Chains A and B, each alone.
Chain A
Amino acid sequence: MEPLDRDAVDRIAALARLGLTEAEREALRHQLADVLGYVGQLAGLVLDEAPPFLGPAVAPLRADEPGPSLPRAEALANAARTTAGYFRVPTILE
């Protein structure tokens, strides 16, 4: 598979909120193409009757009963920036 073009890599990086250096972008153009070329072999398989299998997990619901949750101080303990008991983030709205 041809290396991905820069725009394609940038578009995916933007979706994934990943900052990339120029060197990383260049390496990824080729590495992603290699892997996508390999996994792309699946596209040719005719599997119309096969239902998607999302894994063996069964996740039953539980009763809607309140219980203890993480105390605020512990929840905030690993945050880089907090203010008055809240997580602090850069301004979102001007």
Chain B
Amino acid sequence: MAADEATDWGVAACAQALRTGRVSSRELAQAHLARIERADGAIGAFLAVTGELALQQADAADRRRARGEDGPLLGVPYALKDILTTAGTVTTAGSRLLEAYVPPDSSTCYERLTAAGAVLLGKTNLDEFAMGSSTENSAFHATRNPWDHARVPGGSSGGSAAAVAARMAPLALGTDTGGSIRQPAALCGCVGVKPTYGRVSRYGLIAFGSSLDCAGPFARSSADAATVLAAIAGHDPRDATSLDAPVPDYAAALVGDLDGLRVGVVREHLAEGLDDGVRAALEAALDVLVEAGAERVPVSLPHVGYSVASYYLVATAECSANLARYDGIRYGRAAPADTLDELLARTRDEGLGAEVKRRIMLGTYALSRGYFDAYYKQATRVRGRVRADFDAALEDCDVLVGPTVPAPAFRLGEKRDDPLAMYLSDIYTIALNLAGLPGASTPCGLVDGLPVGLQIMGRPLDEATVLRVADAYERRTDWAALRPPEGGAP
């Protein structure tokens, strides 16, 4: 078996190869670890490669299979964004503050994938505490876009997206608070799914914005993403916000056609400011959906233009509260100090990066006396309007579609000094987080040789229809199967 061949396999192909005995879980893990060793020096998708653990888990999967067990993820290798805890294995959240943190227990996502027999290849790079859109805010190193090593992979789940796009793993988990799965999926040319808020447990997901954070899959097809979603979704008593709703058979929903489906095109998304290449890719994608049987319906989300503003008040307010726990006392880096005030101030100064500090400051300001009503409370009213807009639009259609990103991947360093410009790159993804609804990005073209994505947004708990649309599109196009150029130059 040629090593390169195995790393081209998606989740379903891996499962099939394991089932027929063409390859063992150990061989499959080794092939991916070898690819990581060859390819990741130039890309930096991983913070930690868990080689020994991977082989242990692979051997365990092989033993389970020898005893007659089977399953869609048994022996399948994957990567995990380093914001999801893994007991006994350092979990950093991309921060100096947690660079030596060894969690005492594991996230529900990790536990469920382990129970399914999947094999952890390593922990992937991210913007610190999931705050960013380029992975440049990682305290450790930047990750490079596999399509062009001078460009960002997106963020905050840039490492996971790059790992999947560069064939270092057939699947990865990321988290999406303001677009952090969908945007890097679009910029790296792979599929990324943000489930409905509460669909997947947040237990062990190191918190940034507790009313916004969602864990979800990256893969190279929606069918593969559906398989992973089925494994991680579902009620978890350890997460009070997880939804007690049955998990449907996502695979069965991928019927291949869109007959009878109404697809809403958001008027505000097609306004000025959209790159011509992205617009053309979007129009071509809409044509494919219509060919597949969908009906195109114009809709409006009148308050969507205020989403970025609302988000950078709500999310920062929540993060200012969530990051108050990093005090150097119970876990994490601790600065030398004689007084409590010094301990807190120095620990947080040394341990936290500039973007994290900026957001904590914004959130603190928004919640402070004299500003609470005009900033935070007003932002929550706008959030309600955004959700109401989606609810109304989704009465007239089954899904909404639009661009995931306004333009392809920007250059490393290009937006680092302009926080507001960086925030505005989430302009199409952020509203969905405010609303708590599910969405996916699937590759829909190349603009100047770089991937862009089609975003599909759906009703609460209707991941099945979102995935159905993405899957029907993927069956009729080749974008999701494209490989980045080896050597990372366009």
In the complex, which range does the number of interface residues on chain A fall in? 35 or more
Q: How far is the CA of A91 from the CA of B241 in the complex (A)?
A: 37
CB-CB under 8 A from B339, the residues of chain A are: 90-91
Determine which residue in A9, A55, A79 has the highest number of CB atoms from chain B within 10 A of its CB, and name it. A55
Q: Which residue from chain A places its CB closest to the CB of B379 in the assembled complex?
A: A42
Q: Scan A30-74; emit 1 where CB is below 8 A from any B CB, else 0.
A: 011011101111110101001111111111101000000010001
Cross-chain contact B368 with A15 (CB below 8 angstroms)? yes
Q: Are B381 and A53 in contact (CB under 8 A)?
A: yes
**B227 to nearest A CB, angstroms?**
25
Contacts of B198 in A (CB 8 A): 56-58
CB distance from B106 to the nearest CB of A (A): 13
Interface class of chain A by DSSP: loop
Interface positions of A from 8 to 39, Cβ below 8 Å from B: 9, 12-13, 15-21, 24, 27-28, 31-32, 34-36, 38-39
| Interface pair A31/B383, CB less than 8 Å apart | no
Enumerate chain A residues within 8 angstroms of B240, measured Cβ to Cβ: 59-60, 62
List the B side residues contacting A84 at CB < 8 Å.
none
> Is B483 on the interface with A (CB-CB < 8 A)?
no
Distance in Å from the Cβ of B203 to the closest Cβ of chain A? Answer: 13
Whole-angstrom distance between the alpha carbons of A48 and B379 in the complex?
A: 12
**For the complex, what is the distance from the CA of A79 to the CA of B343, rounded to whole Å?**
13
B349 nearest in chain A by CB position: A19
Of B196, B350, B381, B460, the contact of A52 (CB 8 Å cutoff): B381
Interface string of B183-226 (1 = CB under 8 A from A): 00000000000001110000000000011100000000000000
Within 8 A of A (CB), among B327-363: 327-334, 337-346, 348-350, 352, 354, 357-358, 360-362
Q: Are A39 and B340 in contact (CB under 8 A)?
A: no
In the complex, the chain A residue whose C-beta lies closest to that of B306 is A42
State whether the Cβ of B310 lies closer than 8 Å to any Cβ in chain A: yes
- A75, B102: Cα distance in complex, Å: 11
Please tell me if the beta carbons of A17 and B344 are within 8 angstroms of each other in the complex: yes
With A57-B197, A75-B104 as given contacts, are A81 and B334 in contact (CB-CB < 8 Å)?
yes
Partner of B354, one of A13, A24, A36, A42: A24
Q: What's the nearest-Cβ distance from chain A to residue B295, in Å? A: 28
With a CB–CB cut-off of 8 A, which chain A residues contact B120? none
- Asked if residues A79 and B104 are in contact (CB atoms below 8 Å), the reply is no
Q: Does B451 contact A (CB under 8 A)?
A: no
B364 within 8 A of A: yes
Tell whether, in the assembled complex, residue A41 and residue B309 are in contact, meaning their CB atoms are under 8 Å apart. Answer: yes
Residues of A within 8 A of B105 (CB): 70
Q: Flag if B340 contacts A90 (CB, 8 Å).
A: yes
Is the CB–CB distance between A57 and B381 below 8 Å?
A: no
Min distance, Cβ A67 to any Cβ of chain B, angstroms: 10
Would B345 and A17 count as touching, CB distance under 8 A? yes
What A residues does B485 contact at CB under 8 A?
none
Is there contact, CB below 8 Å, between B104 and A70? yes
- Assembled-state Cα–Cα distance A36/B309 (Å): 9
Q: Is A83 in contact with chain B by the CB < 8 A criterion?
A: no
Q: How far apart are the CA atoms of A47 and B377 in the complex, in Å?
A: 11
CA distance A24 to B436 in the complex (A): 34
A27–chain B nearest beta-carbon distance, Å: 8
User: Which residues in window 419-438 of B have CB below 8 A to A?
Assistant: 419-420, 423, 435-436
Chain B residues within an 8 Å CB radius of A12 = 361, 364-365, 368
Contact mask for chain B residues 313-329; partner A; CB cutoff 8 A; 1 contact, 0 none: 10000001000100111
Cβ contacts under 8 Å, A32 to chain B: 358, 361-362, 365
- One digit per residue, 1 when the CB lies within 8 angstroms of any chain A CB and 0 when it does not, for chain B 410-454 equals 000000000110010000000000011000000000000000000
A50 & B384 in contact (Cβ 8 Å cutoff): yes
The distance in angstroms between the C-alpha atoms of A57 and B328, with both chains bound, is 30
Residue of A nearest to B419 (CB): A31
Which B residue sits closest to A71, measured CB to CB?
B104
Q: Is the CB of A57 within 8 A of B241?
A: yes
Contact (A79, B381) CB under 8 Å given A13-B361, A20-B349, A39-B375: no
A28-B334 contact given A18-B352, A45-B306, A77-B104, CB 8 Å threshold = no
Chain B residues closer than 8 Å to A20, beta-carbon distance: 349, 357
Asked if residues A45 and B382 are in contact (CB atoms below 8 Å), the reply is: yes
In the bound complex, do residue B331 and residue A78 qualify as a contact, i.e. CB atoms below 8 Å apart?
yes
Contact pick for A28, options B310, B338, B358, B384, CB 8 Å: B358
Q: Which residue of A lies closest to B380 (CB)?
A: A52
**Bound complex: CA A53 to CA B380 (Å):** 5
A47 to B101, CA, bound (A): 44
- Residue of B197, B212, B320, B331 most packed against chain A (CB within 10 A): B331
Q: In whole angstroms, what is the CA distance A12 to B313 when docked?
A: 15
Distance in angstroms between the alpha carbons of A41 and B387 in the assembled complex: 19
Residue on A nearest B87 in the bound complex, by CB: A74
Quick one: which of B351-405 are within 8 Å of A by CB? 352, 354, 357-358, 360-362, 364-365, 368, 374-375, 377-385, 387
Given contacts A39-B310, A87-B330, 12 further A-B contacts (CB under 8 A): A15-B364, A32-B358, A35-B312, A35-B420, A39-B313, A39-B379, A47-B382, A54-B383, A56-B211, A58-B241, A59-B240, A70-B105
- Interchain Cβ contacts under 8 Å between A and B, 18 examples: A12-B364, A13-B361, A17-B327, A18-B345, A18-B349, A19-B345, A21-B349, A28-B358, A34-B420, A35-B420, A41-B309, A52-B380, A55-B383, A56-B198, A57-B198, A57-B210, A57-B211, A90-B339
**Which 3 residue pairs of A and B lie closest in terms of their CB atoms, listed nearest first?**
A55-B211, A53-B384, A19-B349
